[in-house]
Structure 1
Amino acid sequence: MISLGIGSLIFGIVNGENFKIMGELMKIIKFKSTILCAFTALTISMNLPAYAEETSEETSNVDSSISSTLESTQSTTETSSSVVESTESSSEVNSSTDSVEVDSEEETTQSSVTEPDETLYFEDYYLPSGRSDSTPVARSSNLLRNSMDIVYAGEANRPKSHFIDISSHNSSISVANFKKMKTYGIKGVVVKLTEADYYTNPFAQEQINNATAAGLKVSAYHYAHYTTSSSAAKEANYFASLADRFKLPKSTIMVIDIEEGKMLNSSLTPNTTTFVNTLKSKGYSNPMYYMNRSYATSGYFSVSKFGTKNMWVAQYPYTPTAAMKWNNEFSAWQWSSQYYIPGIAHPFDISMDYSGYLESGAQGRWLSANQYVTITKKNYSIWSNFNFNSTTNSTTKVYNKTFKVNGKYNHMNGATYYSLYDNNGNWKGYLNAEATTSASGPQGIWLSENKYITLTKKGQTLWGDINKFSSKKGNSTNLYQQTFQAKGKYNHVSGAVYYSLYDNKGTWRGYLNSALATSATGAQGAWLKENKYVTLTKKGQTLWGNIDKFSSKKGNTTALYQQTFQVKGKYKHFSGAVYYSLYDNKGKWKGYLNSALATSATGPQGAWLKENKYVTLTKKGQTLWGNIDKFSSKKGNTTPLYQQTFQVKGKYNHVSGAVYYSLYDNKGKWKGYLNAAGATSATGAQGAWIKTNKQVTIERKKYTVWADINTFSKKKGNTTDLYKKNYQVQGMYNHFSGAAYYSIYDKNGTWIGYLNSNATK
């Protein structure tokens, strides 16, 4: 990171330790002995603290003079081998002294470190390091210009310009100038806050405010010096305290600038771990690491521990081009310190952002996506921003629902965050991908289910495909009120739930929108309201108290044979059977009965029950009904038909409990329905026995005296033999034929037989 006034760097003598680390990375060193002398003199004599947007003719003249000398020297000679050998020898000496162990809790300077400015040069690039604000040295930008291209914003064939980093040397930068940077594609600014545990960038607050106002993403960096665990913690606390003072969000990327040579030893990784842990304890959970290429590959800094995706690496090609994608294994690449923006005097460090962290934030760059996911984990927050301080929902509330992912972010915390949208294009928030499962389409993922549903709406499609709804399997009209097993379901992005239905033979019937079905608590299916009457017409059948598992019984049809009950509801069982829920005339529930064991009735009278019997009307004033469903019409009264016998061809066992006979006379004429309580059943066509006590005289001859008047199959005698004799009548039958038959006895009480009353007086 540059800490320069007018963007200049002074070439320091490369310490031996750095040469040893770089090994094969070093190529031919292009230092000229003449240049070294010039640099030494310049270091002693020059004092050029520069400020943002400030230049001078005097500085320009000095730079021009030095540049001419540099060009002249480089054109006439190459670096001598003796200089290289001398430098390598120095490297070995420094390497040996640097191996001395140092107490990790002591502040100390490594013996291998020379000056704070120790930039490393190679054949086609150089590596910046040791550019502290706390120990400034004289610098001159023209010392670099004859070897490294100056780059102007907007130039073609240059690497991407995503973000810059700034410090106190950049002084005040107006909102307008920050906005100007945006027009050249710059989206982020990394502002130096602190150095060591005592230095603060005096322009930091203004730089943060103006960059933010211009719409640039602001990150922060700390120039590190720590060499022990305690100093690392102290510097981290200092860095965090300034970030708090400048009101930076806790989600801000906090960069640790590692470029001091004294830090490059075996303690670097554990010390940096302490720094990071301390920073996180203060709520700043997005650390990043800046260093040059040689430091990143030195082995002292654990890339595997801290992660390449969290590293920002500096390496400056002398001629940077668009084709270069250097250090793309890391998060970002700082590719020049000589980047000029029209209208701003001083140059900037410029970087390419591979991950998008430093131009967009810790969430990284928006990555376009076109996929669907189903929420499969609870207790995850759905965030409204990447400060993680506001939520839109919780996955517990939208568990198993499906959303469209239009984009995603690979956050530097290691998580991928999906940007969720509903079916109407409404944004729902950011969610950690861990809480989701990717789906093959808008239907969502297959969700195991084991339930039963009954189809309660007609005319609805059963789909063979619910991704594009391109094929159909059937229609609910044909399957109305049938019960199926749902072995799985899809929570479609539309918000609809689609059940995958199977019949009782295991045949798949298709996908059905759950809104078109009613869920059941078991295999019995859903309760279906019913209002009908049935008569139990089979004996020995169970009335169940439970038809899910058939685990309890309520009774048996034998005891209730031919009784009529009201059906207030029914279940169309998964097995295919229909079970009625029966109630008696007092509203008492009697149990569930398989409908096949009952006969449906058109009303509360019950089902027609075939009958072939005879009854005699033995009560006056009883209504013969023309209708016993609603008792809305009458056929007559028993008074004029008193003691007449009728044939019962059928009956109804009314839900009220009453039995109603359907009566016919001897001419086959229907007489109506009579409550059985108004008649007496007979054993045959003779009718019922009617008790009588009177005397009769036989007045007609040739009438048969019968022993049987049901079928008239047996005779007792003839009235010719009984003519003019008197007999006692103890009872009589009003036969179905219309004739009255006396049961006569002689004076001794001997039964004579049955005689048609027409033969008597």
Structure 2
Amino acid sequence: MNKAVKLVAVGAAFLFGATFAGNVTVQADSPRYDMVDVSNHNGQMTTPEFIDMRDAYGVKAVTTKISEGTTYHDWTAAGNIRAAQEAGLYINGYHYLRATTVAGAIAEADYAVAMAQADGLPVGAVLVADVEEPAQMAMGANMQAVVTAFENEVQIKGGFRTTAYTMGSHLEVTPYGEKSWIASYPFTPTSTQNWYATEHGWQFDSKATFRMSLGVFDVNQLYDNFFTADQAVIKKNPGDGATVWSKGGVWYTDKSFKHKANGIKKHMGSYWSFAYGKLIKSNWTNSWGMYYWSDGDGKLVQGKGTWKGYTWDFGTDGTYYVKNATPKSLNKLVEQLNK
């Protein structure tokens, strides 16, 4: 499901002072949220979203869809890789495999490697073969040679580590003796189940939700460090590069000035909010169901500040949203104060 981002701007002056550490929310009795996998169905993910997943849910790694077959390149991959790295998360990729022959698997592996390299997937990351096509399932153990060909080519051509992902009902399609990544969804996942504990990981839910993100997500419990190892650089702090460009007072996400900036973007080491090309200044932004404040220069703020006699706390944990009111009550309060 694609995400939609709602942006609302309502203005006034804001005064800032002391800082405050953010709260952490965790699930009580579910398997660990060690890794989340994302694709175009989740829309373009952002650094604040991944930071919130890291801090509030314990997410350590992200696996993003890179490609499918020999023609489809997931448009969210490059941005997801960059956002996950900026959030200090391990990043991996997956390719949806359609091949049922060795030759076809090699061709798809070459394409997946080229797209992963173009997207910036780091050497040493995992590039997974996603095996779930009905024709592949029907092949049973005969599919192992096809998956093995894909994996071998990925390692040779890309320098990526690799494994296979499939459903628990079709383990026989994964290479014999190899630890894999298995999906199987109990009616009520609990922390004591530990299904497929001899594999790299278990995808236990395909409808998980996160408080800063719209839609539903696949979440996974990991049993080893396969998805959290052998990456040369994990960026703990935001970089300082340009990601938006201005022309005639309008901001764009490309140097050709074709796509207007919309939503919260990281640019030159800070976060900024845009509404259809316009930089929001001294205003609120309602995004992902949370409220953010942009200062007079347009930067999202952290710390504590006062506005219309109220004290507001945006924390110092890199998530930037206001912490001392629920979105619903805050929405009502902001509307009242702006009358």
Instruction: Give your verdict on TM over 0.5.
Output: yes
What CA deviation, in whole Å up to 9, does each residue of 1:45-82 have, x standing for no partner?
xxxxxx12569xxxxxxxxxxxxxxxxxxxxxxxxxxx
Report whether the alignment pairs 1:244 with 2:112.
Answer: no
Distance 1:252 1:234 in 2: 20
Aligned AA (1:177) = E
Aligned AA (2:51) = K
Other-structure match for 2:169: 294
Distance 1:156 1:282 in 2: 43
Give the SS at the match of 1:274: helix
Aligned AA (2:38) = I
Distance 1:320 1:300 in 2: 25
Report whether the alignment pairs 1:325 with 2:198.
Answer: no
Does the CA contact (< 8 Å) of 1:228 and 1:267 recur in 2? Answer: no
Other-structure match for 1:392: none
**1:194 alignment partner, one of 59, 62, 67:** 67
1:537-548 equivalences under 5 Å are none
Other-structure match for 1:169: 41
Give the SS at the match of 1:303: coil
Give the SS at the match of 2:163: strand
Aligned AA (2:116) = A
What CA deviation, in whole Å up to 9, does each residue of 1:210-251 have, x standing for no partner?
111111110000000001111111100000001111122221
What CA deviation, in whole Å up to 9, does each residue of 1:8-44 have, x standing for no partner?
xxxxxxxxxxxxxxxxxxxxxxxxxxxxxxxxxxxxx
Aligned AA (2:164) = Y
Does the CA contact (< 8 Å) of 1:253 and 1:361 recur in 2? Answer: no
Report whether the alignment pairs 1:339 with 2:208.
Answer: yes
Distance 2:204 2:66 in 1: 22
**1:213 alignment partner, one of 86, 90, 112:** 86
Distance 2:49 2:160 in 1: 30
Does the CA contact (< 8 Å) of 1:268 and 1:301 recur in 2? Answer: yes
Bigger radius of gyration: 1
Other-structure match for 2:250: none
Higher RCO (CA 8 Å, separation ≥ 6 residues)? 2
Does the CA contact (< 8 Å) of 1:254 and 1:284 recur in 2? Answer: no
Give the SS at the match of 1:330: coil
Change (3 A) 1:188 1:53: farther
Does the CA contact (< 8 Å) of 2:151 and 2:163 recur in 1? Answer: no
**1:154 alignment partner, one of 7, 26, 29:** 26
Aligned AA (2:229) = G
Give the SS at the match of 1:316: coil
1:670-685 equivalences under 5 Å are none
Aligned AA (1:277) = N
Higher helix fraction (1 or 2): 2
What CA deviation, in whole Å up to 9, does each residue of 1:196-219 have, x standing for no partner?
111111111111111111111100
Distance 1:54 1:337 in 2: 21
Other-structure match for 1:636: none
Give the SS at the match of 2:214: coil
Q: Report runs of 4+ in structure 1 exceeding 4 Å deviation.
A: none
1:79-90 equivalences under 5 Å are none
**TM-score, normalization: structure 2?**
0.60
Other-structure match for 2:134: 261
Q: Give the superposed CA RMSD.
A: 1.9
What CA deviation, in whole Å up to 9, does each residue of 1:245-268 have, x standing for no partner?
112222111111001111131531
Give the SS at the match of 1:263: helix
Instruction: Give the C-alpha shift of residue 357 in structure 1.
Output: 2.1
**1:222 alignment partner, one of 95, 113, 122:** 95
Report whether the alignment pairs 1:232 with 2:105.
Answer: yes
Instruction: Give the C-alpha shift of residue 356 in structure 1.
Output: 2.4
What CA deviation, in whole Å up to 9, does each residue of 1:630-666 have, x standing for no partner?
xxxxxxxxxxxxxxxxxxxxxxxxxxxxxxxxxxxxx
Aligned AA (2:71) = Y
Report whether the alignment pairs 1:355 with 2:208.
Answer: no
Distance 1:329 1:186 in 2: 21
Q: How many residues align?
A: 213
Distance 2:161 2:118 in 1: 18
Distance 2:173 2:28 in 1: 38
Other-structure match for 1:28: none
1:640-679 equivalences under 5 Å are none
What CA deviation, in whole Å up to 9, does each residue of 1:562-591 have, x standing for no partner?
xxxxxxxxxxxxxxxxxxxxxxxxxxxxxx
Aligned AA (2:97) = A
Distance 2:221 2:192 in 1: 12
Aligned-pair identity in percent equals 28
1:340-739 equivalences under 5 Å are 340-358=209-227, 360-362=228-230, 385=232
Structure 1 unaligned regions, length at least 5: 6-50, 56-152, 364-384, 388-761
Aligned AA (1:282) = K
What CA deviation, in whole Å up to 9, does each residue of 1:80-125 have, x standing for no partner?
xxxxxxxxxxxxxxxxxxxxxxxxxxxxxxxxxxxxxxxxxxxxxx
Aligned AA (1:279) = V
Does the CA contact (< 8 Å) of 1:253 and 1:362 recur in 2? Answer: no
Does the CA contact (< 8 Å) of 2:144 and 2:176 recur in 1? Answer: no
Other-structure match for 2:149: 274
Instruction: Give the C-alpha shift of residue 288 in structure 1.
Output: 1.4
